[in-house]
Amino acid sequence: MTPTERVKSRVLELGFSHVGIARAGTLREESAHLETWLARGFHAAMRWMADRKDRRQDPGLVLPGVRSIISAAYNYYTPARHSSDPGVGKISRYAWGADYHAILGKKLRDFEKWLNDEFPGSNNLSYVDTGPVMEKAWAQRAGVGWVGKHTNLITRDRGSWVFLGEVLTTLDLTPDSPETDHCGTCTLCIDACPTDAITEPYVLDSTRCISYLTIEHREALPDELLPHFENWVFGCDICQDVCPWNEKFSIETDDERFAPVPGNAEPDLSEWSRMTETEFNGRFAGSPVRRAKWTGLLRNIRAVRRGRDGTERQR
């Protein structure tokens, strides 16, 4: 096998559902989109997006001498459904089970070690959602999928229920052809967003996004948006739930670690609202939900209840 074939084979052996390679270089078109997005303030309080924008635009500033970007996707879909019971909350499907940062991070560190052993003298650096890398842009350039109108990456044979990881390498690997956009005229994700966070195709306003507000946002939640939260207390899957590519091509993951922990797919809001900080830390050890912190989760629960009560009074 060629070096490129060996690299791809190894990634798939580690359990990833997709792998592709892109030639490293400055992301000019994507960088222009990023600059406009930042100028509009759509990154909200995520200051790191602006602080490290130069590194996001040029991977050579992250790993000097980088020649290739290896992009990998990992299927996490589980078929459980969110409840419509007003006393039951909703958390994003990706957070039902174990934290993907730890799982994929270990896999990619193992892959880095393999690269170092197989290709002595190469320099390699991996990231899972935490580095200054435009992961979705590189995944599209590597042919893994395309960035949909909801700004999530969509793959042809798994939809958008995938985690992404990237490995920057000084190896000169054969690049794949970029994936093309297959959203067509569909606007289901835009139409379904209850807070109008998708302001136009491929543009997300984080200040209105339920996922951002319930996870990253640390202040009080906007009162005018609360009636539209639909019981989401951690993240939001609405734009992905309505995507036809997910309806047609979702396949249940083989990784049982992403299966719902009991209670996570249908959280009892009354029970969770009484959770102590100690109980929170114990229940969500090794879970993405810890990102919201105990105070944030309780704030979210109170907010969705307040928003729902206000909606019911209006009726």
Query: Where on the phi/psi map is residue 25: left (φ > 0), alpha (ψ -120 to 50), or beta?
Result: left
| Alpha-carbon separation of residue 245 from 73, 82, 167, 188, 237 (angstroms) | 16, 19, 27, 11, 14
Structure tokens at 111: 């892959």
Its sign, for the CA torsion 167, 169, 173, 176, is: positive
Measured distance CA(154)–CA(176) in Å, rounded: 17
Amino acid in the structure at residue 143: G
CA 7 to chain centre: 24
Structure tokens at 26: 């400055």
User: Concatenated DSSP letters for 27-56?
Assistant: -HHHHHHHHHHHHTTTTTT-HHHHHTHHHH
Q: Which of 54, 58, 129, 157 is catalytic?
A: 129
Can 129 be counted among the known catalytic residues? Answer: yes
**Residue whose token pair is 């019911």:** 312
Q: Please give the positions annotated as active site.
A: 129
